[in-house]
Structures are given as structure tokens and as C-alpha cells.
A and B are shown apart, each in its own frame.
Chain A
């Protein structure tokens, strides 16, 4: 019986190709929109995830904030040492302080920033040296005038095909020697270009650029076998103790966990994706209403045909199944074409916007199933109307 209905449905659709296509246009657009939105959401999430993981994994950032009595107390080297020595599971702790500078070489000048760091910073943030070397113990101890430049700085003020190692570089009025170039560490959205940076020993930057012993923030990397909550607690307790905060007083420092940033961003983008997909899904429902409309028109137009079928012995439920099958087959066609269109759209949009294309089989299957369901839901009413026609009346219909 289903086979017969399918055969009849295919014949009917073949007879009205153009109308069938227009009928399913709503479903096609709806499915394509949902798939495109979800795929793009996946691409964006993956992209952001990538950026965040460029900060290093299992890393906390600890920085001072204004406390609840308006006090702002910066960190210094003693805080760094305390975290390094008093908390189990910490692999490395690095203080960082930065200042905006103009870098000058050979008459070229370029706006950049200087970051005062030690080798610990390179470890904590997973920064690789592309060319040259890291700081020596003596250089860090003495605050020597040596620097490791970022790839952007290299591109902007050094000649291509010429190694900057050993060259002199002037930052504002401080003269230093380039000892290395670090590999690109990517940039985190909104934070400028992290590759546009010059790394110098911490004590040198404190002495020559910021003029005090303060540390902007600490990067704490920890062993992967420790979990993030335990580590956070340990750091919070230690810092509260060091800063003599009483019970009931709020922390005047904050801890940001890269894993946590990642989760938050993923959740945010996920919510956005669901919302946009839901809006797109409305067009699917509108498509369903379109199917219902055309099916109702079709029932009216084919009243005589229905009369003939009933007269030659079709059961009411067979007529109902035939029209229902037609609606479902139309919707499934629409779903398939929509999936194809969605694939093309999300693929080209991803490459235009510079994201990696991600194929999500789940949403494709789901869209197809939903289209079929829409066929059933919106095809049922016209099908029922067809099956309830009186054969005598239907045969008389002009």
C-alpha cells in the first residue's frame, strides 16, 4: 500500500515539476539556512578555540583588580616567587609588565610594545623561539639590554632575507641587541597583535620603562594532572593571605583560566548559534505552511481525480496516504536539496570569512528528519480533507 502511494506520489510530482519545486522552495531555504547557520557557528567556535589555545593550555592569568574598598594593589616579584614555591602542581610562574614603545632600526620606526618577561614566561605561554636564543640567567639577573622580537616587528622594521640577530634596536631611548625572534603566537580577538611585541628581561623593563617594581599580571602554568578548580582555590587562598584580606572582603585580584575562557566563549557562541538556527527554523515552518497551502489547492484542483479513485474502489485511508505521501516526498526532496544548498553556502561562506569549514553530520540528518516531519504535520490536514470527500460530489466537481 505504501509502495503504491509512493509510486502515485512520484508520478504526481513528475507531472508538475515546476509547481513541485516552487512548493518545496520554502523547505529548501529553511533547511539551507539552518545548516548554514549551524555550520558557521561550528566554524567560529573552532576558530575561537584555536585562538584561545594559542594562549597555552592549563594556564591561569592572575591580575590585580580594584577591591571593594577602592584599593588597587599591584603584584610584584615576591608574589611570583610565593606562587611558584608555595603551591603544589605549579610548573612555572611568570610575571609580565608591558609598555608601549616606538621601535627604531635603521631609520625605520614602528609602534610596538615592550614586554618585560623572563624565560618562565616563554614556558608558561608556550612561546617557541624561531631564530636565535632565549635569555641567559645572567641577562635576566642583570636586566641586560637584550631582546627577543616578535615576527610582526621583524617584518616591519628589518629587511627581508636578513637575519636580525645581533642587530641593534632602539626602543624609545633604550638601546638593545636582538638575540632572538619568537614564533608566531597568534592573536586573541580584541587584544591586538601579540606578535607585535619585543620581549626584554623583566627587571630591565621595570627599571627603564615603567620605573617601579610592579608586575602587571602573572601567567601560571600547572601540571595537567591537577584540576583547574583545585589550583584556583590554592591560588586564591595564597593571595588572600598575602594581601591580608579578611573574611567577607572581596578578592582584589582575579584569576582567569584559559580553559574557562574557552568554555565561556564556546557557550556564548553555542547560544548564538542555537538562536540564529531557531530563527532559521521558523522559515522551515513557513515552508511547511507553504506545502500545506499548495496541497490544499491541489486537493481542490484534483477533486474529480479523487472522486474517480474513490469510485474505482480506493479506500479513504488509501487516498489519505497518497496525499500524505506526496507531501512527505515533496518535503524530503526539499530537505535533500536544502542540505546540498546548505553545504555549498556554508562551505563558501566559511572560505570567504576565512574560517575552516566544518561538516556537522548531525544537523544534516536532523534537518532531513525535521523536513519529513513537517511533511507529515502539514500534509495531514489536506490529506484528510481529500479522503473525506464524497465520491458522488467529487465526480460532479468541475
Chain B
């Protein structure tokens, strides 16, 4: 384990397209995230926050700069190595929940463990524990179509948690939910953070960002400012 920050971005640039059509989405992002932080990333659309999240989630490669995750330089890793890094250390929660249709909540939560080759009995137990952790134990046999939006997002969170990740990446986790459900989810994320999981969340709603410890504002492909959220005192 390195003693530096959990995540470190140094002069990250990202250019889409080539020649005249080229568009520079990131123009040199510098950001450090410590273990145990709860970071909300905000900014208008096109400000580079999603691109940054994709890079942090090891789904995309920066064009230039240095990205260290747990001290490891990610930009020099192969596609497969990045997949393995996601598998071991990252959990994803998406705006659209992205659960497998016609698949029970339990099987959805099991999925990451399948790729880890966890034996069946252990896999079932871990998935069940994770579902219980998000309060959906009794819904284990339901398919996404039989669950409400808030419940679906909690299944997605259970899936992200089942592997005990270092970092939970949430892209607009409340984007498809009404405000009551949104607050419920945010409270839950805050609880998880208090249990020690580092959370990175993209949102455009200030009241959701307020749950975080740190709020990072993006503008025009750069970090504009960093402020403390209310979560720090909660």
C-alpha cells in the first residue's frame, strides 16, 4: 500500500477526435483524493466531469498526464489490466441503474463475483449479505421490472458493494429518482462512506452534492474550485 493519496491526477488531458474536428475535453486536470473521502463532482455539461469520471473509473485512457491509483500509474496499463483493476478495487453505480433485465436482484448482485470465480455457495451468501445491507433482502428473487426506481438503484449499489471495493464510483446516482428517493440514496451513500468506503460521485444537483465531504467544481475542462461539503460535519 502506498502512503500517497488513493487517487492522483496530474496534468490530465483528453482530446476526442483528430485534426480540425478535435475537441479537448480535459485541459490539464490536477486532483488528489484521499482514502475515505466522499467527493461530489459538479459542473455544467461539457465541463469534463463525465470524462474525468470515466478516466477515474479506468474505463477510458487520458491523452496526456499521469493518473495514479493506489500509487500505480494507470495510463501505462493494458486494457485487460485495467479490467482487473476495476474488478478488484472499483464499484460502479450508474444513472440508469444498468441492471440486467429479466435477471433476479440476487443474480445481478452476484455478477461481479462470477467474474472473480467465487464458488457458488460463497457467491450466493455474499450477494445476499450485500442485498441485506441495502435493505432489499426480501426482494432477492425479484427482477428489475418488479422493483421501484429507488429499489433498482439500491440493487445497483449492492452489486457495486458485493466485492468490497476501495472506491465506489457513482455517475448521477439520483438522476432518475424523485427527491425523496434521492435523499434516501444519498443518506445511504453517506452511511457507506462513514463505514470507510471512498465515494466519487458526479451530480448536477447542489442538494445532493451537499451530502459529500468535498465538492469539486469543473468548468471548461479544468478544476475550477474545490470546497468542503456539509458531509464533512455530518
Residues of A that sit less than 8 Å from B by CB? 1, 4, 7-8, 11, 15, 304-305, 307-318, 391-392, 395
| A392 smallest CB distance to B (angstroms) | 5
**Which residues of A have CB within 8 Å of B159?**
312
- The distance in angstroms between the C-alpha atoms of A98 and B214, with both chains bound, is 114
Known: A312-B87, A312-B111, A313-B115. A305 touches B79 (CB 8 A): no
Q: Does B232 sit within 8 A of A, measured CB to CB?
A: no
B117 contacts A4, CB within 8 Å? yes
B80 contacts A312, CB within 8 Å? no
- The distance in angstroms between the C-alpha atoms of A1 and B102, with both chains bound, is 23
Question: Which of the 9-residue segments B92-100, B131-139, B194-202, B205-213 touches chain A?
Answer: B92-100
**Which residues of B have CB within 8 Å of A309?**
111, 115
Residues of B that sit less than 8 Å from A by CB? 54, 57, 59-60, 79-80, 83-88, 90-92, 94, 98-100, 102-103, 107, 111-112, 114-115, 117, 159
B102 contacts A311, CB within 8 Å? no
- The distance in angstroms between the C-alpha atoms of A166 and B111, with both chains bound, is 92
Q: Residue on A with the closest CB to B156?
A: A308
**Which residues of A have CB within 8 Å of B99?**
308
Pull 17 A–B residue pairs with CB atoms less than 8 Å apart, ordered by A. A1-B117, A15-B102, A308-B98, A309-B111, A311-B94, A311-B98, A312-B86, A312-B92, A312-B112, A313-B84, A313-B85, A313-B87, A313-B88, A314-B87, A392-B59, A395-B94, A395-B98
**Which residues of A have CB within 8 Å of B117?**
1, 4
- The distance in angstroms between the C-alpha atoms of A395 and B111, with both chains bound, is 16
**Which residues of A have CB within 8 Å of B86?**
311-313
- The distance in angstroms between the C-alpha atoms of A318 and B85, with both chains bound, is 15
A313 contacts B112, CB within 8 Å? yes
- The distance in angstroms between the C-alpha atoms of A314 and B98, with both chains bound, is 15
**Which residues of A have CB within 8 Å of B85?**
313
Q: Residue on A with the closest CB to B162?
A: A312
Checking B100, B102, B107, B114 against A4 with a beta-carbon cut-off of 8 angstroms, the contacting residue is B114
**Which residues of A have CB within 8 Å of B88?**
313
- The distance in angstroms between the C-alpha atoms of A318 and B94, with both chains bound, is 22
**Which residues of A have CB within 8 Å of B79?**
316
- Other A-B pairs beyond A4-B117, A312-B92, A313-B112, 13, CB < 8 Å: A1-B117, A15-B102, A312-B86, A312-B91, A312-B112, A313-B86, A313-B88, A313-B115, A315-B115, A316-B80, A316-B83, A392-B59, A392-B60
A311 contacts B92, CB within 8 Å? yes
